[in-house]
Amino acid sequence: MGGSNPYIEEVKYKPATKKYRVTFLPSGKSIEVDPEKIPYGHNGLPGSILDISEGLKAGLDHACGGVCACSTCHVIVREGLESCNEGTDAEFDELDEAPGITPKSRLGCQTVPDGTTDIVVEIPDWNKNYAKELDHVFLCELGFRGVKSFPGADMPPTFGWDNFEDIAIGLADKYPDTDPLTVRFTDMHKWITELTGFSGDPAASNEAKLEAIQMAWHEEFLDRQG
């Protein structure tokens, strides 16, 4: 996802130019960040705490693909916050939805250390549903792609409005030639509710969720274009 979202203000940050260390609590996992290896993954701003977490497999969860459209990647920067970029209004709006926020709370996808000091990041207990969701996402992706190699795979997976990446895969499978950025939200809402396995309340969507879905779908669209 790259952390970008055309519906919010551009995030200004200073990329790191030298190696530094990030430690995640409570696991104690630590990584020496090499600016030449950034980005480590495809979610969050390049060099963000979420990006670094994916390189280390530290288990920082994210539901929107790292585009500042949810609060799932909430972290607490215990040490080194002064080396990170300033948060935007959009980021703090999303943080308002997170439980247990503190003066050192940030969204991992939008927080980029500049490498001037080592940092210590705490992943709150409530965030640690990452491992539990892996099986769900895996089964959803298998279902979307028609794989039937396990008992019960012929039954469609169920998913709701917060399963952005699952919805994106479903839309990309059903509308492979459609550029998501050309689709009106009213049409996209209708197409989502018609996807096999969608179990969300049609009235439970909102603009922020549709924006996150559109960004996830657009990333999937670009990946398939090669």
Tell me which of 143 and 61 has the higher pLDDT: 61
Q: Any idea which architecture 20-127 has in CATH?
A: Roll (3.10)
To 5 degrees, how large is the angle CA 165–CA 179–CA 52?
40
> Tokens at residue 179, please?
């550029």
Cis, bond preceding 113 (omega within 30 deg of 0): no
Average confidence score pLDDT of the chain: 84
Q: Any idea which architecture 130-225 has in CATH?
A: Orthogonal Bundle (1.10)
Question: Percent of the chain beyond pLDDT 90?
Answer: 51
Question: Percent of the chain beyond pLDDT 70?
Answer: 83
Delimiting residues of CATH 1.10.10.600 domain(s) in the chain: 130-225
Delimiting residues of CATH 3.10.20.30 domain(s) in the chain: 20-127
pLDDT tens per residue, range 11-61: 899 999 999 999 999 989 999 999 999 998 888 999 999 999 988 888 888
Query: According to the model, what pLDDT value does residue 109 have?
Result: 94
Question: Which H or E element spans position 32?
Answer: strand 30-33
pLDDT tens per residue, range 153-180: 343 457 889 888 889 999 999 999 999 9
Burial of 162 (0-12, 13-18, 19+ CB in 10 A): middle
Please name every residue paired with 154 in a beta bridge, in sequence order, or none if there are none.
none
User: What band does 145 get if pLDDT is binned at 50, 70 and 90?
Assistant: very low
Measured between alpha carbons, how far is 121 from 124 in angstroms, rounded to an integer?
Answer: 10
- Determine how β-strand 105-107 pairs with β-strand 119-122: unpaired
pTM surpassing 0.85? no
DSSP 121: E
Query: According to the model, what pLDDT value does residue 226 have?
Result: 74
